[in-house]
Amino acid sequence: MDFNIFEKSIAIEFNNKDLLRQAFIHRSYLNENKNTKLEHNERLEFLGDAVLELVITDYLYNKYPDKPEGDLTAYRSALVNSNTLATAAEKLGVNSFMMLSKGEAKDTGRARQFILANAFEAIIGAIYIDSGYDKARDFVASQLFDLTDDMIAERKFIDSKSFFQELAQEKTAITPSYKIIKEIGPDHNKVFTVGVYLKDDLVTTGEGKSKQEAEQDAAQKAIQLKGWEV
């Protein structure tokens, strides 16, 4: 696999090529390729997640000096959630470089989105180790900063959970509740499936890399399912 193509696409040349390669190795790949000398990308993802949050937080803090903490938190959540990161990864062609098991390679649904989002964070971590914070910040800026204005204009930062609660109380006099249905993955890299209920009735489910993200996903789907969008 020619990772020089990817380096050219992001305009970053790695000093340590193995770091970039590692960013694309999914845990499942190692199960079928036990002689691989490199580790999977989860440690890089862990680091990249922290770098990403700092970069986005600093950017939003300076871009919107008059916005309160609550608004900035909502903006940040929208920019770093798995949907946004997976989309950014797809635009970069990350999918073509992923090293996956045969089973994972066949999955093109929600599970693949999480894999791509994780790989995007792993790439940030790899850039940070190889070239430092400034390079990692510039990479994040080139991929995500331009999304901010459209995100706010289209109100993609809206707290779906709060919105669904207001609508459910208004239309049914019921306060929604949420329950974890399933957790998969290691402790540091779980995927949560959460159900949203009106009384004992399951409305729908959502998935996310955190309980909060899964609840937001479930609430957004519930709004669409109920036809309550405005």
207 beta partners: 193
Q: How far apart are CA 152 and CA 141, in angstroms?
A: 17
The catalytically annotated residue of 49, 130, 207, 213 is: 49
Active site includes 187? Answer: no
The catalytically annotated residue of 42, 45, 121, 217 is: 121
Active site includes 121? Answer: yes
Which sequence positions are flagged as catalytic? 49, 121
